Structure 1
């Protein structure tokens, strides 16, 4: 075989190798693009914040406005199920300045301009497509969408939502990725810790990979209630395992009675933000930097907002 023929064969082999390398690179780029959100994660929205936590039947508009009045940076709605929300009709009440999402005669979600840039709608769901349909309906009226993977109630077990999805991490990832990749607002979720810390850390790393902007963590197991001590060390371990903001939750029983206590709990858990539930029910002025108000004053303020 002549020299030119040998050279031609070697050049052709090198070309094939380079093409194969290019194909592998393109495949990696394709995977990155498919897993990347349409909108960049807005993690800074969830840094250094004190937050009204989502609470069943309590996180309605008056409670949210009261928390904002006293100094909360962000407020979460009570859990709203995607199965109901997707059937709602959006209407405006110009006289009262309200935006209503109504199912029949029932206002499933109400909001107003005063909370427009501070309200996060928490959604209960177990279906990625249904979650997206519902979230698209409200995304122009809220700051962000949060998915509830933390609720441990019998209703959550019956509907297989909330904390009962934590043993189905593939579905958790599918739901979050569907929302992150198709919404124009930040997406977050709230979880509880698992019995095995290694499984918890594996789960939160998978959650982070979806592109969510922050992660809320209730420091208790699904079977534990607020009479059980919050697992501070587990929350701290999660903050060290992910780079997105972690929002610590569950400290009301032992730690939080004042605004200063909120900051102390944030430092103790190494989190970037804290969400408060039970202490806000006890006295919503817990968000005031200048100290809590007498409960009769809080009641007066609440009645004023309702009326």
Structure 2
């Protein structure tokens, strides 16, 4: 722990959702299982089928990995908390949870921008696609996403560790997140709020700008395609990504760029449900239902599995 921290608080109580806990446990347990099965299935499908060994699906497999990690850093503790009267987490445990969630969340945000660039190269420069996006470049881009996510998380975690928490220790949230934690600190949190607004604003602005520029070029390229079938095929590869981007960035922007206040905490919890649980669950279904290659590969894999089962 940082030397400037003189907290008397050794644990936090995560308030979460106080009503209908048994119903919420069932709903969120099903959501988490669906998230794990859907995203793990997507990773296995991509890794075991040579037809999907192209940059687009390489990035998609890492998006699925981020969804698993992001949800797993929060949901198990949240589910266990629904079964007890007081959902207690230690100070160090709270900081650790925040760090890993920040790593995975930031990495996913930047990865979505990288995926938009990948779509730009694939549609606007199809003849150069595999030359411009070799495996080595794809690996470097993904490593860069992880590095940026880790650096951003380290900055905010270090900022939290310099604060003092003298009580109360009731966190009006279902996991350890920056805005509700800052409201509990007895230190001056102006610097933390400023750094968070700058970092989050910068990441969202740069990522969204990269996505907007990429898709502006894509739309111009699609507009110049003469055949309706060609335009539909090109655009269909982008709609899944756009839907995921809208879900992710919409809820993230509301959560982090919303004014800090106790009145806004309940709204923040609702936005966080979409950001941490609903979006990771929906992502593999959005890609599998909207993507012809994934559907056909999944169909073949299912048929092989069924034939193996019947043969035994």
Structure 2 length as normaliser, TM-score? 0.24
More strand by share: 1
The structure with the largest alpha-carbon Rg is 1
Structure 1 length as normaliser, TM-score? 0.25
Structure having greater relative contact order (Cα 8 Å, sep ≥ 6)? 2
